[in-house]
Amino acid sequence: MFIATRDLTFAQGRFLMMGSVVALVAFLVITLSGLSAGLVKANISGLMALPATHIAFEGTDHPGYRNTMVERYMWEGWAGQEGVLHAEPLGHTVFNARTVDGKPLEIALWGIGPGSVIDPVVTEGEGLGGIENGVVITRDLLDDSLKIGDTIFLDRVLTELKVVGILHESRNIGHLPVIFAPLRKWQEATYGPPGGPPPGEKLPDIVFDFVSVVLLQLEEGVDIAALDEENETTTFDRLGFFAASTGYKSEVQSVQMIQSLLFVISAVVIGAFFSIWTIQRTKEIGLIKALGASNAYVLKDALGQAILIIVLGTLAGLAGMFWFYTAVKDTELPFMLQSSTITNSIIMLLVAGTFGAVMSIRRITQVDPIIALGRDR
C-alpha cells in the first residue's frame, strides 16, 4: 500500500470525510440493529428468560398463548417421561387492570407454581406463595408507581392482587409487562366466576385442572413428536415458542427487512463514494499504469486503502453506538446490547462495504495508461 498510505497522509481532510460517512453508516446500522433487537426483546423478554428448552401448547395447528388450553393429564403426562427434566404448568392471560389510584394497566398475568423452576427470584420483597393473592411485578410496572404492598385490581374478573415482590428486570410478552401470580390464583381469575366463589363455597376442582402451556426442560434425544401425540400437545423449541407470541414473527420479519435494506444501503453508499474517488483518480491511475504498474498492483493498493477506511470508519461507528447506549440504557427506549448482534452487524457491514468498494474500484482495470500522454484514444 505504498501509494495508499501516502495518500491517506496527504489528503487527510478528504479521507476523514469519507471515513465519517462510513462511521455514520456503521453507527446507523449497528444502532438500528440494537434497537431492532431491543424491540423484539420487548415483545418476548418474558419468554427469553424462561428456563425452558421447549413449551408444549394445546395440540392444535397454530397454537398461540391466547388460544391454548392444556389439561392436567397433558402436563402430568409429560412430567412422567424419561428425558423430561421438568414439566411445569404455566398460565397466561391478558387482563386490563387498575392500580389503587385508578391508573389503568394492561398486563399479562402468568400463573406459576411457587417454588417451581420458573418461579422468579425477586430482587426486592418476597416471592410467590406467602399469601394466596401475592404477586411479583416486573421493572416495567414500576413506571406506574407501583410498589410493594400496593393492590392491583383485575377488571372484569373483580380480582384483587397484592404486590409482595419486585423483579427489577424487564419481563414482557406481546409488549405487555408480566405479573407473576401463584398458579391457583391465576386459575381462579381465568376460569373462575368474577370476584371468586360465592361466600361459603369453594371453586370446583376442575378449575384447577387447566393451564395455558407446559414449560419443558428436555434432554437431547427425547422423541418430542411421539410425546406430543401421546399427550395431545404441540411442542415448540425456543425459537418456536418465541414465534408463538403475538406479533413476534411480523416484527422479526420487519426488523430483518430493515437490516437487509441497511446493508444494501451501506454497500451502495460506500460504493458510491469509492466510485467517485476512483473517477477522480483516473488520470493518476493511468499514469501509474504507464509507469509500469500492473492492474493487480493498483487494485491491491486501492482496495487496501478502501478496506482501511471501512474498518476505521466501522470502529468509529461502533464507538458511537456505545456512546448512544450509555445515553439510553436507563430510559424506556428498547435497546439490546448483545455481542452477537454487534458482531454480526459489524461483519455484515464490513462485507457490504468491501463489496461496494470492490464493485467501484474494479473500474481501475479499465483505465487505459495512454491517458498519461494526455490524449484519449
Partner 1 sequence: MSLKVEFVSLVFGDGDEQVKALDNVSMDLQPGQLMAVLGPSGAGKSSLLAVCGGLQTPTSGKIWIGDTDITGASKSALTRIRQQQIGFVFQQSNLLSSLTAIDQLLLLIHMRGKRPEKADRERATKLLDEVGMSHRLNRRPSELSGGERQRVGIARAFMTNPTLLLVDEPTSMLDQNRGKQIVELLVRECHEYNVATLMVTHDQGILQTADRVVDISDGNLIERT
Point out which residues bind partner 1 (CB under 8 A).
2-3, 6-7, 9-11, 284, 287-294, 297, 368-370, 372-375, 377
Please report, for residues 32, 33, 357, the alpha-carbon distance to residue 24 in angstroms, rounded to integers and kept in the order given. 12, 14, 17
Closest contact distance (angstroms) between CB of 301 and partner 1 is 9
Question: Are the C-beta atoms of 357 and 274 separated by less than 8 Å?
Answer: yes
Closest contact distance (angstroms) between CB of 291 and partner 1 is 6
Question: Are the C-beta atoms of 152 and 99 separated by less than 8 Å?
Answer: yes
Residue with cell 461502533: 318
Closest contact distance (angstroms) between CB of 270 and partner 1 is 21
Question: Are the C-beta atoms of 164 and 135 separated by less than 8 Å?
Answer: yes
Q: How many CA atoms lie within 13 A of 10 on its CB side?
A: 6
Residue with cell 509507469: 291
Closer Cβ to partner 1, 261 or 370, answer by number: 370
Closer Cβ to partner 1, 217 or 295, answer by number: 295
Closest contact distance (angstroms) between CB of 376 and partner 1 is 11
Closer Cβ to partner 1, 69 or 290, answer by number: 290
Please report, for residues 285, 361, 367, the alpha-carbon distance to residue 279 in angstroms, rounded to integers and kept in the order given. 9, 9, 10
The three-point CA angle 372-376-377 to 5° equals: 125
Closer Cβ to partner 1, 293 or 321, answer by number: 293
Closer Cβ to partner 1, 116 or 282, answer by number: 282
Closer Cβ to partner 1, 114 or 369, answer by number: 369
Closer Cβ to partner 1, 175 or 289, answer by number: 289
Please report, for residues 8, 100, 249, the alpha-carbon distance to residue 59 in angstroms, rounded to integers and kept in the order given. 64, 39, 20
- Helix residue spans in the chain (DSSP H): 2-10, 12-48, 72-79, 139-142, 183-191, 224-231, 238-243, 248-280, 282-290, 295-328, 339-361
Question: Are the C-beta atoms of 335 and 328 separated by less than 8 Å?
Answer: yes
Closest contact distance (angstroms) between CB of 278 and partner 1 is 15
Q: Name which of 26, 274, 40, 10 is nearest 174 in CA terms.
A: 40
Closer Cβ to partner 1, 140 or 301, answer by number: 301
Residue 47 cell numbers, joined = 419468554
Residue with cell 393429564: 73
Closest contact distance (angstroms) between CB of 287 and partner 1 is 5
Closest contact distance (angstroms) between CB of 310 and partner 1 is 20
Closest contact distance (angstroms) between CB of 362 and partner 1 is 16
Closest contact distance (angstroms) between CB of 366 and partner 1 is 12
Closest contact distance (angstroms) between CB of 359 and partner 1 is 22
Closer Cβ to partner 1, 14 or 249, answer by number: 14
Checking 126-129 for CB contacts under 8 A at 24+ apart, the result is 126/164, 126/165, 127/164, 127/165, 128/164, 128/165, 128/180, 128/181, 128/182, 129/182
Dihedral of CA 218/223/226/229: which sign?
positive
Say which residues have a Cβ less than 8 Å from residue 299's Cβ, sequence separation at least 6: 361, 362, 364, 365
